[in-house]
Amino acid sequence: MSDTQPNLSAAMSPSKLDSIGEASISCSQQENGFINSFSLFSEKAVDELLQSPVQGTDEHLIEFSEAMRTVAKALRRAAEGKASAQAEAAEWRRKYELERARNLQLEPKEQLPGQHGDDAIIENLINQNNKANGKFLNCCGRNGICSHEVLRDGEPDSDSKMVRKASFKLSWCCKGEQSDQHKHDIVSFERGNITTAERSSKQISLKWESDPQTVLVMTKPNSISVRILCTEMVRWLREQKNMKIYVEPRVREELLTESSYFNFVQTWKDAKEVLLLHTKVDLVVTLGGDGTVLWAASMFKGPVPPVVPFSLGSLGFMTPFHTENYRECLNQVLKGPISITLRHRLQCLVIRDAAKNEYETEEPILVLNEVTIDRGISSYLTNLECYCDNSFVTCVQGDGLILSTTSGSTAYSLAAGGSMVHPQVPGILFTPICPHSLSFRPLILPEHVTLRVQVPYNSRGHAWASFDGKDRKQLAAGDALVCSMAPWPVPTACQVDSTGDFLRSIHEGLHWNLRKTQSFDGPRES
């Protein structure tokens, strides 16, 4: 110590020095990334030191004390900052643990002996499919749907790292939320009033809770323009948005013939991997027409990530996005919030007469448009016995029957004389094809029913079932098709909103009720 420096120890009593030692905060270890390699004097200790009578006070000592006070203040601020950062980190950790626990609850609980990993998950998916929609309601409550309910955490990927899907929240957008029009009660026993339940006809909004990171791009085959756009979009998503990209094996090959640059693009090897796609993909982009949306939906036998359909087809009922400004559209979707349409699907089971019990069925098939039971190549009238929740409905004699979703109401069902229905309306359309009866009008049934269409034993010919216009299956006498609403809808992004997009598609796609307006010839004399 130089002569000019004050001897602080000499100026203070030993007890004072002890008190400073006790009050010092040691932050030499690393906690949550914060490193402090020095001991801090607390401001309180410095205050105490300055207030105590110090013998032999001189100017240097006062200056030194002031400096100490300033240093103590600065250090206190640093300590406060650190404490608040630690609290924030703890809060994030708590949120993470909570979400992890929730996801674990959704993991398959019972693993049968001999079933491991993927097999158990696939089995569980099928079981989930077979369960009632009740599970959805557990989490959704009344005002929102959590993505944990729809999409679970990813499986370990090839690098053995956990792939974490972006989480999002769906909520009802309701203009008159505050008004009396939107009662939550179905029946009020106290006052004896019956009011309507809130159903899915409201606009749904999707808000990302974490950034989407993985996108699956699905494309219509054999189209040069689609191929060019796909190449450009994949490059943009990678370079500008830093996204992981999945494509079909065919598309990966196409991209690699363009350039080895596209080596980063991922795909799948087999059907098992396809079944796990929903755990890896945050978003699906389709490039094509309605058929490509149907194709993309058919890839997901369970939950479906949000789908952004770009129009490169002729009609585009389900493809509201234009390709010219795909960058702006995708920017908006990735940022959110976006309006979405939850398109209901039908779950179809073929039950063979030869099956020993009802459970010995083939794999359930999910359709977004419709299942059709028709006469196929047979020249005989189809003869189909139809039941709704075990009540006899009718016997269809004609070319066949369409069981359609409301999204499919503008497709084959429309051509067969069915009504057009807003896609958010929960219902099943029952539309005959060329019935040989003057009075067979189409029906719309509520969403909760189970329909059974049976080929009677005395039928002259076989019937054929087809699913969204694909995968024909022959139904022999005694075979039946059982159909009910599937628990997993297809969430498609809207350009405007569900209603705006629906009306635009029937105006532009079908020229619905297009008629020249009558001229105004002046008021008529009565």
Ligand X SMILES: NC(=O)c1ccc[n+]([C@@H]2O[C@H](COP(=O)([O-])OP(=O)(O)OC[C@H]3O[C@@H](n4cnc5c(N)ncnc54)[C@H](O)[C@@H]3O)[C@@H](O)[C@H]2O)c1
Binding of ligand X at residue 313 (CB under 6 A)? yes
Nearer to ligand X, 318 or 333 (CB): 318
- At its nearest, how many Å lie between ligand X and the CB of residue 420? 9
Burial tier of 518 (Cβ tally within 10 Å: 0-12, 13-18, 19+)? exposed
Cα gap 297→468, rounded to integer Å? 10
Cα gap 339→491, rounded to integer Å? 10
Binding of ligand X at residue 213 (CB under 6 A)? no
Cα gap 509→131, rounded to integer Å? 37
Name the helix (H) or strand (E) containing 465.
Answer: strand 463-467
Nearer to ligand X, 208 or 412 (CB): 412
Nearer to ligand X, 20 or 304 (CB): 304
Give the closest residue to 500 by CA, choosing from 374, 323, 307, 320: 320
Do residues 149 and 135 make contact, with C-beta atoms less than 8 angstroms apart?
A: yes
Nearer to ligand ATP, 170 or 348 (CB): 348
Stretch that binds ligand ATP, among 44-52, 229-237, 310-318, 343-351 (CB under 6 A): 310-318
- At its nearest, how many Å lie between ligand X and the CB of residue 392? 27
* CB within 8 Å of 228: residues ≥ 6 apart: none
Binding of ligand X at residue 248 (CB under 6 A)? no
Cα gap 279→258, rounded to integer Å? 29
Binding of ligand X at residue 506 (CB under 6 A)? no
In the list ligand ATP, ligand X, none, the entry touching 218 (Cβ below 5 to 8 angstroms by class) is: ligand ATP
Stretch that binds ligand ATP, among 55-63, 139-147, 199-207, 291-299 (CB under 6 A): 291-299
- At its nearest, how many Å lie between ligand ATP and the CB of residue 262? 17
Of 166, 218, 367, 463, the one binding ligand ATP (CB under 6 A) is 218
Cα gap 455→438, rounded to integer Å? 22
Q: Which residues are catalytic?
A: 290
Binding of ligand X at residue 406 (CB under 6 A)? no
Nearer to ligand ATP, 204 or 247 (CB): 247
Stretch that binds ligand X, among 27-35, 40-48, 173-181, 286-294 (CB under 6 A): 286-294
Q: Which string of DSSP letters, residue by residue, matches 171-214?
A: EEE-TTTTSTT----SEETTTTEE-PPP-TTSEEEEEESS---E
- At its nearest, how many Å lie between ligand ATP and the CB of residue 485? 23
Of 65, 168, 255, 291, the one binding ligand ATP (CB under 6 A) is 291
Give the 3-state secondary structure of 293-333. HHHHHHHCCCCCCCEEEEECCCCCCCCCECCCCHHHHHHHH
- At its nearest, how many Å lie between ligand ATP and the CB of residue 342? 21
Binding of ligand ATP at residue 370 (CB under 6 A)? no
In the list ligand X, ligand ATP, none, the entry touching 480 (Cβ below 5 to 8 angstroms by class) is: none
Do residues 498 and 423 make contact, with C-beta atoms less than 8 angstroms apart?
A: yes
- Residue 121: strand, helix, or coil: helix
Binding of ligand ATP at residue 408 (CB under 6 A)? no
Size of the site for ligand X (CB under 6 A): 19
Stretch that binds ligand ATP, among 160-168, 177-185, 314-322, 444-452 (CB under 6 A): 314-322
Q: Which string of DSSP letters, residue by residue, matches 228-289?
A: HHHHHHHHHHHHTT--EEEE-HHHHHHHHHH-GGGGG-B--SSHHHHHTGGGT-SEEEEEES
Owner of token pair 């007890």: 15
Length of the chain: 526
What Cα–Cα distance (Å) separates residue 302 from each residue in 82, 91, 152, 279, 307?
45, 33, 11, 10, 14
Binding of ligand X at residue 374 (CB under 6 A)? no
- Residue 490: strand, helix, or coil: strand
Binding of ligand ATP at residue 364 (CB under 6 A)? no
Stretch that binds ligand X, among 55-63, 72-80, 298-306, 405-413 (CB under 6 A): 405-413
Binding of ligand ATP at residue 313 (CB under 6 A)? yes
> What is the dihedral angle through the alpha carbons of 497, 498, 503, 509, rounded to the nearest 10 degrees?
100
* CB within 8 Å of 143: residues ≥ 6 apart: 171, 172
Cα gap 229→416, rounded to integer Å? 35
Binding of ligand X at residue 503 (CB under 6 A)? no
In the list ligand ATP, ligand X, none, the entry touching 318 (Cβ below 5 to 8 angstroms by class) is: ligand X
- At its nearest, how many Å lie between ligand ATP and the CB of residue 120? 29
What type of residue is 502?
Answer: F
Of 215, 318, 334, 346, the one binding ligand X (CB under 6 A) is 318
Binding of ligand ATP at residue 315 (CB under 6 A)? yes
Give the closest residue to 504 by CA, choosing from 361, 319, 291, 344: 319
Stretch that binds ligand ATP, among 153-161, 213-221, 388-396, 410-418 (CB under 6 A): 213-221
Of 316, 408, 435, 489, the one binding ligand ATP (CB under 6 A) is 316
- At its nearest, how many Å lie between ligand ATP and the CB of residue 220? 4
- Residues in contact with ligand ATP by CB under 6 A are 218-221, 248, 288-292, 294-295, 313-316
- Residues in contact with ligand X by CB under 6 A are 289-291, 294, 313-315, 317-318, 369-370, 407-408, 410-412, 415, 468-469
